[in-house]
Amino acid sequence: MPGRTPPGRGAPHLVNPLTGQGVGRTRPLPRRAFLRGAGMASATAFLASCGISARSGGPTTVADRTDSDRKLNWSNWQAYIDVDDNDPNKHPTLDEFQKATGIKVTYTEDVNDNNDYFAKIQPQLANGDAISADTFCVTDWMADKIIRLGYALPLDHANIPNLKNLDPQLLNVDYDPGRKYSVTWQSGLTGIATNPKSSGGKAIETMDQLLTDRSLHGKVTLLTEMRDTIGLVLLDLGYDPQDFTEEQFLKANAKVEAAVNSGQVRSFTGNEYTQGLASGDIAACVAWSGDVVQLQAKDASLQYVLPEAGAMRWSDNFVVPIRTPHKKGVEELINFYLKPDVSATVEEYVNYICPVPSAKAVVAADPDKDVAALAANELIFPTAKTTGKLHGFMSLDEDLSTRYGDYFNKLTGA
């Protein structure tokens, strides 16, 4: 993992994309840096080709022991929850939950990569066995995969009354309408990052500009994640990434291909673009908001914009695996983190898009001016104008996932 900044109150590191003003806390490297992966599509055919099958074996549920066995295990990404200023191994909101409910939570930061985590738990889930975690947080496409394979338990919304606080845009995602199997933990953005020192001071605000402006020739990178890169190009072409045709996908793919063939695009990357962006070797790139936020702590001149045509929004989500004996306890945990005051405390540290819009008022009322300023940050509490520009990516069936992936992978060299 790249170098980390100890959490605590310090120099502002977040830059409001609308005002250019820095606000917020310093904190460890965002976990989005670890995101990798295949698509959001139904995974059964893909997994079968790799020798991986859907669930087999016994029943998915066991008797819930939460009332008599007050404990649960939660797996999450690194640096993705609030920490005590004096002890980074302590998490104030978890301490509050344990005190309020009597449920002891073992919190483990072992989700370093969606695919790696899935590979670790899949053999047990496919066999119909319980895993060590009673809940874990994974990104949309992986949550979709787990749900489709029959590895997730349905949630009892009667135990999650605070689900009413969830951002309405996050409630009816196409892979889990009504959030029957998953609930958002945090969200983030995919947009365009620019180093003005190597872009000639030019602001890069559209994908067309990124892919065709000759002054950027050979100094542009795109993400290997198809849904982020192609999603932005679809938007730029006037198409809806949540509802597009194959013809529209091919037009977007062709636009990227032209930029690759012309030498405009230097490479496709995971989060390793951060080093080149910081050094100026990369003038502009498709980037994840959390990565750029961290870079801005050291170089406030770096810019991050949401293209006028729109940006991609992704989420990490709670999922409850089959055969956990503590599902009710997990539902209590999810309900707790959907409280506005609790969600506000988490956002003070992690600085991603808050899934609970009503937490904004709590943050704005904080007596600490640095914390209160977070309420005005569009990367944490986007206004209606900004949320109207955010989009997910259409869920794909097995055939489309394979076909679109093949088209895109030819460009990336995968």
Is residue 21 domain-resident?
no
Confidence of residue 58 (pLDDT cuts 50, 70, 90): low
Same domain, 220 and 87: no
CB 65 within 8 A of CB 326: yes
More confident of the two residues 37 and 298? 298
Can you tell me the mean pLDDT for 258-268? 97
Which of 30-34, 195-199, 350-354: highest mean pLDDT?
195-199
Segment (H or E) for 64: none
Same domain, 120 and 163: yes
Please determine, for residue 364, whether its predicted confidence score (pLDDT) is greater than 90: yes
Is residue 176 domain-resident?
yes
The two tokens of residue 367 are 């007596």
Please determine, for residue 369, whether its predicted confidence score (pLDDT) is greater than 60: yes
More confident of the two residues 406 and 49? 406
Confidence of residue 16 (pLDDT cuts 50, 70, 90): very low
Q: How far is the first Cα of the chain from the last one, in angstroms, to the nearest whole number?
A: 23
Is residue 2 domain-resident?
no
**Whole-angstrom Cα distance, residue 392 to residue 311?**
9
Beta bridge partners of 284: 194, 220
CA dihedral 66, 67, 70, 75 (to 10 degrees): 20
Q: Please give the pLDDT value at position 139.
A: 87
Is residue 10 domain-resident?
no
Q: Please give the pLDDT value at position 265.
A: 98
Number of separate domains in the chain = 2
Closest C-alpha to 190, from 232, 139, 233: 232
The two tokens of residue 57 are 């074996």
Same domain, 219 and 305: yes
SS3 293: helix
Residue 125's domain is classified under what CATH number?
Answer: 3.40.190.10
Q: Please give the pLDDT value at position 270.
A: 79
Same domain, 206 and 292: yes
Same domain, 302 and 406: yes
CB 230 within 8 A of CB 268: no
Residue 256 to residues 185, 214, 250, 262: CA-CA distances in angstroms?
32, 15, 10, 10
Is residue 155 domain-resident?
yes
* Model confidence, pTM: 0.76
Same domain, 406 and 273: yes
Is residue 28 domain-resident?
no
Burial 339-375 (b: 16+ CB within 10 A, else e): bbebbbbbbbbbbbbbbbbbbbebbeebeeebbebbb
**Whole-angstrom Cα distance, residue 325 to residue 308?**
47
The residues, ordered by sequence, that sit 6+ positions from 412 with a Cβ below 8 Å of its Cβ are 224, 268
Amino acid at 313: R
Same domain, 262 and 382: no
Closest C-alpha to 110, from 131, 130, 127: 131
Percent of the chain's residues with pLDDT above 90: 64
Q: Please give the pLDDT value at position 281.
A: 97
Q: Please give the pLDDT value at position 401.
A: 78
- Beta strand 182-194 pairing with 303-305: antiparallel
Please determine, for residue 402, whether its predicted confidence score (pLDDT) is greater than 60: yes
Same domain, 202 and 306: yes
**Whole-angstrom Cα distance, residue 82 to residue 186?**
13
Q: Please give the pLDDT value at position 296.
A: 85
**Whole-angstrom Cα distance, residue 234 to residue 293?**
25
Same domain, 249 and 380: no
Can you tell me the mean pLDDT for 205-212? 97
Can you tell me the mean pLDDT for 256-281? 94
Question: Helix 327-337 vs helix 92-101: angle between axes, to the nearest 10 degrees?
Answer: 130
SS3 25: coil
pLDDT tens digits for 110-128?
987 777 899 999 999 999 9
Segment (H or E) for 89: none
Please determine, for residue 7, whether its predicted confidence score (pLDDT) is greater than 50: no
Percent of the chain's residues with pLDDT above 70: 85
Confidence of residue 398 (pLDDT cuts 50, 70, 90): low
Please determine, for residue 29, whether its predicted confidence score (pLDDT) is greater than 60: no
Min mean pLDDT across 86-100, 146-160, 388-402 is at: 388-402
Same domain, 262 and 401: yes
Is residue 166 domain-resident?
yes
Segment (H or E) for 70: none
More confident of the two residues 275 and 5? 275
Confidence of residue 56 (pLDDT cuts 50, 70, 90): low
**Whole-angstrom Cα distance, residue 109 to residue 94?**
14
Q: Please give the pLDDT value at position 18.
A: 39
Same domain, 161 and 193: no
Is residue 385 domain-resident?
yes
Please, is 414 exposed, middle or buried when counting C-beta atoms within 10 Å of its C-beta (0-12, 13-18, 19+)?
A: exposed
CB atoms within 10 A of CB 87: 8
Please determine, for residue 39, whether its predicted confidence score (pLDDT) is greater than 50: no
Please determine, for residue 194, whether its predicted confidence score (pLDDT) is greater than 70: yes
Q: What is the residue-wise DSSP string for 274-289?
A: HHHHHHTS-SEEEEEH
Please determine, for residue 379, whether its predicted confidence score (pLDDT) is greater than 90: no
More confident of the two residues 201 and 3? 201
Q: Please give the pLDDT value at position 22.
A: 38
Q: Please give the pLDDT value at position 49.
A: 40
Domain of residue 245, residue span: 189-312+396-412
Q: Please give the pLDDT value at position 108.
A: 96
Please determine, for residue 59, whether its predicted confidence score (pLDDT) is greater than 80: no
Same domain, 405 and 269: yes
